[in-house]
Amino acid sequence: MGKYTTILFDMDGTLLDTISDLTGSVNTTLHHYGYMERSEDEVKKFVGNGVMKLLERAFGRGVKNVDLAEAYDYFASHYQKNCRNRTCAFPGIPAMLEQLSQAGFTMGIVSNKNAQAVMELSENLLGGHIAVAVGASEDKPKKPAPDLVLEALRKLNRNREETIFIGDSEVDFETAQNAGMDCMLVTWGYNEKERLAGLKPAYLADSPADIVRNMN
């Protein structure tokens, strides 16, 4: 093991392909309020800053006669019941987690997704390799604020100097910067590779195997 002992992962677009189930719950919510549905490609552009921002973007700037707090609760209830309909790990992720675990890395998840959904998906889809799964809560600001990352570090009893944050977006890059740690960005998620490369992260991974190689 080299510089790092600990890896914190984003969830959506990094470890798990959640876009189909997110789109399903977004569209169920939009339909409930009489709004037109969104495509998966549209929803990909809306994710990354938490559910409230996702819904604000899905409804659009001209949203009227919708209580977004009520819509949030409607979405959250539907998604909690349907978050594992089609969601799955990206190809190569289970093997990557197994290899990193065998190499001695401590791993956690930090996501802007609802905390209950984060824990359920981690426990059921990621093979027990995740020591801590931290999701959004009302008492802490979401990424790119560093608070959720720092909470994960406290729970793991690790420091930022020995930790790398791995995600698939500008939000994840900014989160790592704000938390004072290195960042690796993956290119199989919901953002274009050229845009991610332009951020100049410490590492850029085109496959889960690249993560393993970079951690050696």
CA-based max dimension of the chain: 55
pLDDT at position 65 is 83
Q: What is the distance of C-alpha 130 from the center of its chain?
A: 14
How far is the C-alpha of 130 from the C-alpha of 159, rounded, in Å?
A: 17
Region 94-114 average pLDDT: 96
Residue 43, pLDDT above cutoff 90: yes
Distance CA 120, CA 124 (A): 6
Q: Residue 2: what pLDDT?
A: 67
Domain boundaries of the chain, sorted by first residue: 6-17+89-215, 19-82
Lowest mean pLDDT among 58-67, 84-93, 130-139, 186-195: 58-67
List of residues 6+ apart from 147 with CB closer than 8 A: 140, 141
The answer, yes or no, to whether residue 1 has pLDDT greater than 70, is: no
Query: How much is the average pLDDT of 31-48?
Result: 95
Confidence label for 117 from pLDDT (cuts 50, 70 and 90):
very high
Query: Is pLDDT at 89 greater than 60 in this prediction?
Result: yes
Report angle CA 95, 20, 57 to the nearest 5 degrees. 120
Phi, psi of 214 (to 5 degrees): -70, -25
Closest among 107, 170, 99 to 134, alpha carbons compared: 107
pLDDT, position 87: 97
CATH code that applies to domain 19-82:
1.10.150.240
- Asked whether the beta carbons of 109 and 8 are under 8 A apart, the reply is yes
Average pLDDT over residues 174-198: 97
Does position 7 have pLDDT exceeding 60, yes or no?
yes
Architecture (CATH level 2) of domain 6-17+89-215: 3-Layer(aba) Sandwich (3.40)
Predicted confidence at residue 61, as pLDDT, reads 82
Which pTM does this prediction carry? 0.94
Read off the pLDDT of each residue in 163-173 and give the average, rounded to a whole number. 97
Share of the chain above pLDDT 70, in %: 99
- pLDDT at position 111 over 90: yes
